[in-house]
Chains A and B, each alone.
Chain A
């Protein structure tokens, strides 16, 4: 049994009245690729942000292997948010170097690691280019290089293939598989089951802020007595999915009231349906 790198115990996350996550218990073990699978608004991004120490749990704790709070040990993590978060007026290497320096890594070390992974991703020739003109795929690859440059123990990826063309998505998945083969630990959020099946050793299905299942693809099918992973997912998430709510909550009360004041009500149309 490999050692636990990240431990989530009894975690709940509320945004005012809204419960985004409720009672999550998970362990992320060394050398595994864990897929967080769920529909939009299920709570995947909130869980990843809790793992990255960007959010503080309302209840419970997120700790690393030595028991320290994750927010104090962020140098062990590499994070690629869904938006990639690249500065368009900086080159790809400047973006990577900026984060590496904030991780306390010297330029030579981060350059060596960047060169290593850039060659695998076919990005070596693009490191000196400004990211403004990058395609979505190149941005995603640059964000991956940035997250890997300081040698993190755990890589947290939020929907890394969303919006990518087939070739770019394939390259990203190949890199994750290589990392797994080299003993790396990756938490990979996606809403595509097939992708999770290809890449992940373990799949955690999240629905409406709860963990509905946790295991290998085979275990999930056995648990639900279904023949395919898709059928297993459907049976685990049969209740209606909630809408995404965490962003809407950040809007000020006056702003929300004012917007509603000038929004006409949707008319109720009386339509006769034949038959």
Chain B
């Protein structure tokens, strides 16, 4: 009897996965997008940014310098920054930052920036009039600040030298001795675990929920809407077998999606950082098993809830309007969990739904095995998963699921 039940669950799950995989849009949504999302974001986006930055750097910008006493060498430094300079008299104003009559020239783009500079005793005062919403003007301001810093460094060094002091020891009287990384008691593996713990739980939680939405709806409200559920309900399989079969199918599809997304994420990070920022975390076999257990319990709960909510719905549209906003129930706790300090954390956090598994994943990725925390999150996760499964089974046993809008 158990064999027959297992066979039916397997057949239901197999058919769902086969049918689901025959829709090319589904394959793109579940496999291609998760696999390519982070590589595209982390590799192509910086390339685009670099290309835009190079384009800005090659721009010839127009600058007006208003001064009554230009510092030595500053003009020469600015001239090297692809900036065409026009000199004007310094207007009489309360302070140099007041735009005065120059505001129109900046707003209509006839000049990109105005540098005002004057000397009072030993101090040079300056301001850069610019328009922050114009990329040309912002670039001009950025180049000017760079040039002014260079001039300031030269001026500071000259003044220190003229006072008879050593420039290097005067400007850097406190220095780190040796390699930064050598002084860290945490191993490279632990540091890698720490870095991964900042985003892997978040990605897992959000993607598990979001990638389960479409298959959950298709296999429940979709079946109901298409009128295929009645024929299925008249077969010699129980409603629980139906639920388990569909759960297995959704969990398989979701699991593949989540794994591919994490693979894509790690590939992108590895490519960007040339494997130097994030390495392989040091995880014991027990930790790895606990991580898998935590993800499984979370998936049981999430998929069961989604199947239940979708099965309650009369149509795909209705299910989508319920499950779409429901993702907030995962995103908020997930974001919240990322900022909780794990050192000395109170145990009750490990009993809160969603938060418990995310905190557990953070601790485990940092290879922290704290028995009391594990007992609490395993116990509560099993409880929540059972409650979700019970709720789902109640929805699958409803008689009205046989009725179809079509």
Which residues of A come within 8 Å of B, CB atoms? 15, 49, 52-56, 73-75, 77, 79-90, 94, 98-99, 101-104, 143, 146, 156, 246-247, 249-251
Contacts and interface: CB of A to CB of B under 8 A. Distances in A.
Given A74-B235, A89-B19, A90-B22, 18 more contacts: A49-B230, A49-B234, A49-B402, A54-B230, A74-B236, A77-B234, A79-B231, A79-B234, A83-B231, A84-B227, A84-B231, A85-B229, A99-B235, A101-B7, A101-B11, A102-B11, A102-B12, A156-B234
A23 B176 CA distance: 92
B227 A81 contact: yes
B399 A104 contact: no
Contacts, number: 83
A75 B173 CA distance: 89
A11 to B, nearest CB: 15
Closest 5 CB pairs of A and B: A83-B227, A85-B231, A250-B400, A79-B234, A74-B236
Contacts of A247: 403
Contacts of A143: 231
B3 to A, nearest CB: 10
Given A74-B235, A102-B235, A250-B314, A85 B11 contact: no
A250 B399 CA distance: 9
A81 B314 contact: no
Nearest to B398: A250
Q: From B4, B15, B235, name the one whose CB has the most chain A CB atoms within 10 angstroms.
A: B235
Contact of A81 (B11, B23, B234, B400): B234
Nearest to A74: B236
Given A90-B15, A246-B403, A99 B236 contact: no
B314 A251 contact: yes
B231 A98 contact: no
B236 A103 contact: yes
B11 A98 contact: yes
A75 B231 contact: no
Interface string B2-16: 001001100110010
17 contacts: A49-B234, A49-B402, A74-B234, A74-B235, A79-B234, A83-B227, A83-B228, A84-B227, A84-B231, A85-B227, A85-B230, A90-B19, A102-B8, A102-B11, A102-B235, A250-B400, A251-B314
B23 A55 contact: no
A162 to B, nearest CB: 13
Nearest to B238: A71
B371 interface: no
A249 B12 contact: no
Contacts of A88: 226
A52 B237 CA distance: 13
Interface in B19-77: 19, 22-23
A172 B22 CA distance: 31
Interface of B: 4, 7-8, 11-12, 15, 18-19, 22-23, 226-237, 314, 399-400, 402-404, 406
Contacts of A146: 231
Contacts of A246: 403
A98 B15 contact: yes
A246 B231 CA distance: 18
A156 to B, nearest CB: 8
Given A89-B23, A101-B11, A246-B403, A54 B227 contact: no
Nearest to B12: A102
Among A53, A85, A89, max chain B CB count under 10 A is at: A85
A56 B4 contact: no
B80 to A, nearest CB: 66
A85 B232 contact: yes
Given A84-B227, A89-B23, A75 B236 contact: yes
A55 B398 CA distance: 10
A54 B178 CA distance: 76
B230 A81 contact: yes
Give the most central of B12, B23, B230, B406: most A CB within 10 Å.
B230
Contacts of B402: 49, 54-55
Given A89-B19, A89-B22, A90-B15, A99 B403 contact: no
A87 B228 contact: yes
A146 B234 CA distance: 12
Q: Report which residue of B4, B18, B22, B228 has the largest number of chain A beta carbons within 10 angstroms of its beta carbon.
A: B228
A66 to B, nearest CB: 15
A49 B403 CA distance: 11
Contacts of B7: 101, 104
Contact of B404 (A80, A83, A98): A83
A82 B228 CA distance: 10
Contacts of B237: 102
B403 to A, nearest CB: 5
Given A55-B399, A55-B402, A251-B314, A103 B234 contact: no
Contacts of A82: 227
Contact of B403 (A52, A79, A250): A250
A129 to B, nearest CB: 14
